[in-house]
Amino acid sequence: MKQRRKIRKQKAHIAFVLNGEPCEVAFAPHKTLLEVLREDLNLTGTKHGCELGECGTCAVLLDGKPVLSCLVLGLDAEGREVTTVEGMQLPEGRLHPLQETFADLGAAQCGYCTPGFLLTALELLAKNPKPTREEIAQALSGNLCRCTGYIKIYEAVELAAAHMRGEKAEVAEEVVYGLKS
Ligand code: FES
Ligand code: FES
């Protein structure tokens, strides 16, 4: 009887900081960061889109900067800080202002693109608390959305930025309900 050759699957093992907490994970070394997050850490908030670096739906923050996790090897996260959409919630389970305004203004519709937009906008507001509409559009230009037409997303980022600056900004009624006929 032929003896089967035993093939040992080698796993990579890394330690890093995930959403503010120390984390260790073992995974097949060819996996992308997107695959490690979703398949090995069960963090499915990061969405799987084109896997070609074109849609932005897989965006996460690596050391505070947005990266496309489909183009980053899991091994590259070793010793670094990764933030996913699951890490955006505030103490006591409160939503981040960006999450609130995306929900309130209809900037999240099917929601598939939303985690990537939220994290990219989070980094924008960290470095520029009062961005212009043009700066917001520029920062989010690598993220694609098939549902919203983008305007609601820009408005949500503007409103969240105002709330984060401590301003009592209100959203105009027509933004939420449309123009009265
Ligand atoms: S899934 Fe990564 S850019 Fe589309
Ligand atoms: S809300 Fe559906 S793709 Fe953006």
Which structural domains are found in the chain, ordered by start?
Answer: 12-88 (3.10.20.30), 91-173 (1.10.150.120)
The per-residue pLDDT for range 15-62, each reduced to its tens digit, is 999 999 999 999 999 999 999 999 999 999 999 999 999 999 999 999
pLDDT at 179: 59
Lowest mean pLDDT among 69-73, 137-141, 167-171, 175-179: 175-179
Mutate to test the pocket of ligand 1, among 50, 62, 73, 112 (most ligand atoms within 8 A of CB): 50
| Cα dihedral across residues 76, 77, 80, 81: positive or negative | positive
What does the mean pLDDT of the chain come to? 93
Please check whether residue 124 is in contact with residue 139, taking contact to mean a CB–CB distance below 8 angstroms.
Answer: yes
* Ligand 2 pocket check for 57: Cβ under 6 Å: no
Distance separating alpha carbons of residues 82 and 176, to the nearest angstrom: 34
Against a cut of 0.85, is the pTM above it?
yes
85 closest CA partner among 29, 123, 142:
123
